[in-house]
Amino acid sequence: MKKGVRVYIDDVLECIDKIEEYTEGVGEGEFYENTQIQDAVIRRLEIVGGAIKNIPEEFREQYPDIPWRKIAGMRDVLIHGYAGVNLLRVWRVVIDDLPDLKKRFQEMEGEAWLKS
């Protein structure tokens, strides 16, 4: 059975919540030194990218402000380890990008037509 869009939105939000939990009170230097936090964050970003890849294109087109391809592309880089993982980029995503992404996905989650 194919999962609905709502399931993937929930997956993204759950992963963002976990990343926030893992990095709460963690500074950039500690992030670079702590491989457990790195691994946990990277794994959750991989799941986010995988969930996004499963959201149908016709749905994604309704939200052109979300960088769908960029998120999915980061997942590919993390999973396949192309040229190594750029920890600075991972940290910047956590600090700069995830708060806005979380807000947008919470808005999507609240839209009435998704609840059906």
For the question of whether the overall pTM of this predicted structure is more than 0.85, the answer is yes
**How far is residue 48 CA from its own chain's centroid?**
4
Chain segment 78-112, per-residue pLDDT in tens: 888 766 789 999 999 999 999 999 999 999 988 74
Q: Is 15:45 a contact under the CB 8 Å cutoff?
A: yes
Show me where the domains of the chain are located: 5-109
Taking the C-alpha atoms of residue 17 and residue 41, their distance in angstroms, rounded to an integer, is 11
Q: Check 6, 43, 60, 75 and give the catalytic one.
A: 75
pLDDT, residue 85, reads 86
pLDDT, residue 15, reads 98
Quick check: is 75 catalytic? yes
**Which of 13, 97, 7 minimizes the C-alpha distance to 48?**
13
pLDDT, residue 82, reads 62
